[in-house]
Amino acid sequence: MAHIAAIGEVMVELAPFPTADSNGREIMALSFAGDTYNTSVYMARLGLTTDYVTQLGEDPYSTQIMQRMAGENIGTGLIKQLPGRSPGLYIIRNTPDGEREFFYWRKEAPARELFSSQEAADQLCQKLVHCNCVYLSGITLAIIGEKSREFLYNSLHKLRQQDVIVAFDSNYRPRLWRDKAEAQQAMLSIMQYTDIALLTLDDEQLLWGDDSVEGCKKRYATYKLSELVLKRGADDAIIITPTEELRVPVPPVQGVIDTTGAGDTFNAGYLAGRLQGKSLVDSAKQGIRCAGIIIRHRGAIIDKAIFDKELGA
């Protein structure tokens, strides 16, 4: 069975109920989420042997996160728990026009220290050489900081020399970066160590001011990507390899409720397909189908029984 490890951060999520209590007080539902964590959940549900790589505390919420992962068949053996620490937190607020705002408390989160030294990075690298693929995102890059990114790049270089596939989603979030120039440099740097790039054109527009397919092809032409996947919402997904360019239609979805996590779930479907031997097109179709299920439900991670039922329908 194919084995993948995702690297990133899991946060405590507080989301408001639609109505307040009898005293007018806002009621919040507690859950856990994070971009690469969301992808890990669905990769595990799709049959990949999945490990998660992060750092947590030894508090009750970190314990709940570990239990939640175990319940999703996600391996926790590569997670380090630091005494006296606790995971980051974010709160979702619904605006009057139906959009959602996110407010974060994550500056002291232990995941930020994932690659705090070359020694720590090398120790993790030794554990990851047994995987078929490692997956990370631009959020992973942003939270660990500039010096740690260099340690990470060195590890990715060593992993690729051991035939481990590196998959990356830029997932650009401006507030996590010092400025746009820092983000641009980091995104281009990691492309040197990436095999499968899973990019969203909305992020490309935010980061580069150019969301055209031709612009993306030109921007990444000098990098040795085996697969450049461009996610374009309701428009065709595009897969670019050194020898071909493929377009995969996105069927219309009725009853869209919440697009949170759609890109993360596409990534899960696509990577699961590729690592299980499916073609480029069939993998993209699986990713599109998975994303189409998620957006008809609230939240990035939906009940497993619902997901399995709709996937098999």
* 264: annotated active-site residue: yes
Torsion (CA) 215, 217, 221, 225 in degrees, nearest 10:
140
Classify residue 159 by its DSSP letter.
Answer: H
Three-state DSSP at 190 gives helix
Nearest to 311 by CA among 2, 37, 42, 5: 42
Q: How far apart are CA 187 and CA 142, in angstroms?
A: 10
Three-state DSSP at 149 gives helix
Residue listed under structure tokens 């009853």 = 255
Catalytic residue among 35, 51, 203, 264: 264
CA 23 to chain centre: 38
Who contacts 290 (Cβ-Cβ below 8 Å, separation ≥6)? 42, 46, 265, 266, 268, 269, 311
* Residues assigned a catalytic role: 264
